[in-house]
Each structure stands twice: as structure tokens, then as C-alpha cells.
């Protein structure tokens, strides 16, 4: 749903500053000062080919990775829809991965080759972080469970929006099955991967949101959820040969906006039109749209009954 309208080398340094501020500085400071209940550690990757961070939660045995996949400048809604142009937001699009601990219940839900890769000797540290050797050999699609996006108002930097997109389950079938040493591991047509993407990714998203709200004493400006049919893939030889959609395996998108600087006046028109845009999109596409501000649903989901709340 991210429609990037500008991406130039000139902007990249500013995007790095945004990521360093809201991940390196804010989250590490919150961790030191006790603003986070569930963060155990945050470490920036030393891998030179891309920018990413590893995050460990206290209530999960595995390790998350958020990896910069794209960045740019976006408009909230086409400016032609209103008299004055709406504020633009810098957006950082992050791929979300989860490296499960072999002792976790969800470990068995990852694909055969993901599990085999995770168990390779010297491929992961004691903390569950991929080694340099693992990085060089790991296929791009391995351990992926969703997308996480940061939106930061371009000029005043007075508000941010954090969004999460994932599926109830990421399901992949193998049309040709899997055999090793004449032994059948996965029969042709059987499910090889059935990862509970939403449950795993929601734990990280919820922990990040609660940390930002407490650290900035942030006022919740927007909270919405969209559901649409999720996808199931059938692959053969590494290529997708069939794609199916179903409400039983819904894709969910959640977006929450926070005011993080009390000295800055937020342009509330942006949030009015975000609601309008997603509401109309849902009607046109047949998606399910939920306003999580209604009856303070977002507070109940996050366990933050005392948080500031925009009326």
C-alpha cells in the first residue's frame, strides 16, 4: 500500500537519520531507561551489503530481524482531493524476518529447508543471530514473516506512523515434494511451510508501539486495521506454479499514528484522509476495514488503558 513518489541519493542520508533516531537512539535509550517491558536486546547488523537490526523479545525464544528494503517520500492522499497539499511523510519499508529457536513450538511450521538451515553448525550465534557464513548462503525468502513500515512527517517530525502487514499463516505447498537420499520428506502437493506470521510479527509490533508510546508519552492519533484474503503458494523447482487466495488465511494490515513532540502542531487533515482513503479502498475492493480508535480497541490490544488518546 506504500506509494513512493520520490527516491533519490539526496534523501538517503535523511532516511538513515530517521532509522538511527527511532531504532538505534530511541529504542536503545528506552531499553536502558526502563521504558520497554519486553525488549531484551537490539543490535544493528554488521553485514555490509544492507542495513538491518536484530531484536530479541523477552517472551520469545527466537530473534527478529528488520531489514531496510525500500525508502522514499509519500503523500497521504492525492493533493487534488483537497484545497491545500497534505504533509508528506518519509517512509522506511522494512522486511520482517524471524529466526526461530529450535525449541519453539513454531519451529516445526517453517519449511524443511529453513529448519535444516537453522540447525547448521556455526550458522547462528548463541543469541540466535545469523553468522556471516549464514548470511552469504541464506536465500532471500527464508524466515520472512511480514513487513514493517515507519512513516515520519517530512518537515516538523512531530508525528510518526508505524504499520505492520502479515498473514495469519504463510502457507507454501511443494508440487514436486522433497526427497533426500531416496527418502520422502514432503510428498508431492503437501504443505511444506505453514508459519503463523501474524501472531509472531504482532508480538514485535506491539512491543515497539508500547515502547514508543511510553518513551515519547505519545498521543495516539490513528489506529486502523484492514483484512483481505491471504495467499497460498504452490511451488515447483523454486518457482511459483499456483497462487490461491482465501479469507481463511487472511492478510492483515495495521497502522497506528503517534504524536511524539508536544511542541509541534500536527496536521490532523492527514489522519482524516488516511481513514477516508482506507475506508473507501476497503469498500471498493471488498476488504474489511476496522477503526481501532472506536471504543479504544487499540488500547485494549496493546494493554495501555492509561495512554493518551486523541478524540
Q: What is the pLDDT of residues 77-90, one digit of tens each?
A: 544 444 445 557 77
Average pLDDT over residues 236-263: 91
Q: What are phi and psi of 292, to 5 degrees?
A: -80, -5
Task: Enter the pTM of the model.
Answer: 0.90
Instruction: Provide the pLDDT confidence category of residue 310 given band limits of 50, 70 and 90.
Output: very low
**Does residue 288 contact residue 36 with C-beta atoms inside 8 Å?**
no
In sequence order, the 6+-apart residues with CB closer than 8 A to the CB of 222 are 161, 255, 256, 257, 271, 274, 275, 293, 310
Mapping DSSP onto H, E and C, the string for 35-93 reads CCCCEEEEEECCCCCCCEEEEEECCCCCEEEEEEEEEEEEECCCHHHCCCCCCEEEEEE
Average pLDDT over residues 143-150: 95
Please state, in angstroms and as integers, the Cα–Cα distance from residue 125 to each residue in 111, 135, 204, following that order.
21, 12, 21
What was the pLDDT predicted at 67? 94
In this prediction, residue 213 has a pLDDT band, given cuts at 50, 70 and 90, of very high
What Cα–Cα distance (Å) separates residue 71 from each residue in 48, 81, 157, 254? 18, 25, 16, 19
- The answer to whether 73 and 88 are in contact (CB under 8 A) is yes
Instruction: Give dist(CA 31, CA 21) in Å, integer.
Output: 14
Residue 308 has pLDDT above 60, yes or no: no
How many helices, marked H, and strands, marked E, lie in the chain? 7, 14
Percent of the chain with pLDDT over 90: 52
**Mean pLDDT, residues 155-169:** 89
- Residues 137 and 127: their CA atoms lie apart, in Å, by 19
What residue ranges do the domains of the chain occupy?
9-309
Contact between 137 and 6 (Cβ < 8 Å): no
pLDDT of residue 245: 93
pLDDT > 60? residue 46: yes
pLDDT computed for residue 86 by the predictor: 54
- Nearest C-alpha neighbor of 52 from the set 10, 9, 16: 16
All three cell numbers of 186: 514432503
Cell of 172: 507454501
Q: What is the pLDDT at residue 209?
A: 94
Which tops the pLDDT comparison, 305 or 272? 272
d(CA 296, CA 304): 10
Cβ–Cβ < 8 Å for 169, 191: no
Rg (CA), the chain: 20
* DSSP 8-state code for residue 130: B
Which grid coordinates are listed for 128?
Answer: 540466535
What is the rounded average pLDDT for all residues in the chain? 86
Amino acid at each position: 500500500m506504500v506509494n513512493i513518489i520520490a527516491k533519490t541519493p539526496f534523501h538517503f542520508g535523511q532516511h538513515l537519520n530517521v532509522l538511527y533516531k527511532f531504532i538505534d537512539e530511541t529504542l536503545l535509550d528506552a531499553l536502558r531507561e526502563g521504558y520497554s517491558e519486553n525488549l531484551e536486546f537490539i543490535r544493528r547488523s554488521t553485514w555490509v551489503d544492507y542495513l538491518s537490526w536484530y531484536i530479541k523479545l523477552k517472551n520469545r525464544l527466537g530473534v527478529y530481524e528488520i531489514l531496510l528494503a525500500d525508502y522514499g517520500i509519500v503523500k497521504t492522499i492525492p493533493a487534488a482531493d483537497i484545497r491545500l497539499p497534505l504533509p508528506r511523510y518519509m517512509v522506511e519499508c522494512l522486511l520482517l524476518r524471524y529466526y526461530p529457536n529450535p525449541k519453539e513450538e513454531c519451529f516445526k511450521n517453517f519449511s524443511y529447508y529453513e529448519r535444516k538451515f537453522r540447525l547448521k553448525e556455526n550458522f547462528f550465534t548463541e543469541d540466535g543471530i545469523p553468522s556471516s557464513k549464514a548470511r552469504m548462503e541464506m536465500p532471500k525468502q527464508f524466515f520472512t514473516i511480514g513487513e514493517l513500515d515507519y512513516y515520519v512527517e517530512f518537515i516538523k517530525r512531530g508525528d510518526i506512523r508505524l504499520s505492520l502487514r502479515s498473514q495469519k499463516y504463510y502457507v507454501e505447498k511443494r508440487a514436486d515434494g522433497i526427497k533426500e537420499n531416496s527418502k520422502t520428506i514432503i510428498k508431492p502437493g503437501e504443505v511444506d511451510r505453514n508459519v503463523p506470521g501474524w501472531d509472531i510479527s504482532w508480538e514485535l509490533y506491539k512491543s515497539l508501539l508500547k515502547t514508543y508510546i511510553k518513551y515519547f508519552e505519545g498521543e495516539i492519533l490513528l489506529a486502523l486495521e484492514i483484512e483481505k484474503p491471504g495467499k497460498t503458494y504452490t511451488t515447483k523447482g523454486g518457482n511459483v506454479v499456483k497462487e490461491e487466495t482465501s479469507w481463511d488465511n487472511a492478510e492483515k494490515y495495521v497502522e497506528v499514528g503517534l504524536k511524539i513532540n508536544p511542541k509541534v502542531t500536527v496536521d490532523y487533515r492527514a489522519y482524516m484522509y488516511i481513514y477516508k482513503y482506507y475506508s473507501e479502498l476497503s469498500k471498493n475492493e471488498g476488504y474489511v476495514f476496522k477503526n481501532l480508535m472506536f471504543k479504544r480497541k487499540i488500547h485494549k490490544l496493546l494493554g495501555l488503558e492509561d495512554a493518551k488518546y486523541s478524540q
